[in-house]
Amino acid sequence: MRFEILKESKISKARIGRISTPHGDFLTPAFLPVATQGSVKSLNFKEVKEIGFEAILANTFHLHFRPGEKIIKEFGGLHKFIGWPGPIITDSGGFQVFSLGFGLEQGVGKILKTFPGKDISKKRGKNLIKITSREVIYKSPLDGSLHRFTPEKSIKIQEDLGADIIFAFDECTSPLADQKYTKEAMERTHLWAEKCLKTKKRKDQALFGIIQGGEFKNLRKESAKFIASLPFDGFGIGGSLGKSKKDMFSILNWTLPYLPIKKPRHLLGIGYFEDIKNSIKYGIDLFDCVFPTRFARHGVFLSEKEKINILNSKYRRDKKPIFKDCQCYYCQNFSRAYLHHLFKAKEILGIRAATFHNLFATSCFMQKMRKDIKEGRL
């Protein structure tokens, strides 16, 4: 992988770059649609390409369980198995340590929605995992059987999957974790980062390290300095991003100054338009997020300025397109009333339309971001 910076903003830390991989190049800042199970929910890859995406992100943990990396390897890797010839990034599976363990236990996301003080104990589920510095033991989400994940195993799976960019295995802590626990988890992540670098054999894959440290300034700085000192090809900012969006940008402020300018930075799991725009100003190059596709499944159509929940009965007789300025096929050809009907009738086409539109809007937004940097507005 090669990363070239093509243009740096004079008014912020934003930059336009190009990432070159064995499966092609793409421009940054870039948003990567998430193909969790090797599929961008309801769309085929011809459509993903038509929408304007040049690279996608797939999920190591899910593909490991089903169909399993051995089968994918037999097909010559993930690119061939799923029929996407372009660049692919795989995450490390570390996020699932969080989402199957503490995330599920406390019912919270990457940015805390329930502020401490409110009673969150009612949301407590079962903690499915056990973490030590050597391994993570957890139950399969498919059948409840016990499995272990290690940094070495994460790299081996990702080598079998064969993505162009892979991630080091990390522990993603909950926004509710205290400083003591967050520090322990960060130290494990640092140890695992070194193990991942040591394990990696394939020369055609780039390996990104992940910075942890939760919402704590001293830990974020320590993690950024340590991970940046290791020979990674790029960096991910992971873990809990605090209790509010303000916290998230403080975390970027504490972290990014320690990262080498010439290597790409990925803000993991963040994808609202406004957050993307603000993060670009801090110097973030890569984004991935399930929001556009997840919202789509619930009948929510996104634009930079508003969200439309098409299930609302006020759209029953609405002849207007979803967004008249959107050039996507569905905004050009379907009325709100028809889309409302499709969702009410639970027709698959409704979900396809919303998924296509939301990703189209995201792709247009990223093009606009690059244009704004190029023309000195961002």
Name the site residues for Zn ion (rule: CB under 5 A). Answer: 326, 328, 331, 357
Shortest Å, Cβ 276 to Zn ion: 18
Token reading at 348: 């698959």
Who contacts 338 (Cβ-Cβ below 8 Å, separation ≥6)? none
The candidate with the shortest Cα–Cα distance to 359, out of 304, 314, 302, 280, is: 302
Q: How would you label 255-264 residue by residue, b for 16+ Cβ within 10 Å and e otherwise?
A: bbebbeeebb
Catalytic residue at 288?
yes
Of 127 and 332, the one with the shorter C-beta distance to Zn ion is: 332
- How far is residue 160's CA from residue 153's CA, in Å, rounded to a whole number? 11
- Strand ranges, E, within 12-119: 15-21, 24-28, 30-35, 56-58, 88-90
Shortest Å, Cβ 323 to Zn ion: 6
Shortest Å, Cβ 49 to Zn ion: 17
Of 236 and 299, the one with the shorter C-beta distance to Zn ion is: 299
Of 154 and 303, the one with the shorter C-beta distance to Zn ion is: 303
The catalytic position among 91, 160, 164, 170 is 91
- Strand ranges, E, within 85-182: 88-90, 129-131, 136-139, 146-149, 165-167
Of 242 and 299, the one with the shorter C-beta distance to Zn ion is: 299
How far from 61 is each of 103, 148, 287, 338, CA to CA, in Å?
16, 11, 19, 38
Shortest Å, Cβ 338 to Zn ion: 13
The candidate with the shortest Cα–Cα distance to 213, out of 194, 188, 192, is: 188
CA 372 to chain CA centroid, nearest Å: 23
Shortest Å, Cβ 109 to Zn ion: 26
Residue 329 CB-density burial (10 A; 0-12 exposed, 13-18 middle, 19+ buried): middle
The catalytic position among 160, 170, 288, 318 is 288
322 touches 301 (CB < 8 A): yes
Shortest Å, Cβ 361 to Zn ion: 6
Of 311 and 326, the one with the shorter C-beta distance to Zn ion is: 326
CB atoms within 10 A of CB 213: 29
Of 18 and 341, the one with the shorter C-beta distance to Zn ion is: 341
CA 367 to chain CA centroid, nearest Å: 18
Who contacts 245 (Cβ-Cβ below 8 Å, separation ≥6)? 111, 275
Of 73 and 297, the one with the shorter C-beta distance to Zn ion is: 297
Catalytic residue at 318?
no
Shortest Å, Cβ 302 to Zn ion: 9
How far from 239 is each of 62, 72, 111, 346, 368, CA to CA, in Å?
19, 29, 9, 36, 28
By DSSP bridging, strand 165-167 and strand 24-28 are: unpaired
Which residues have a catalytic role annotated? 91, 288
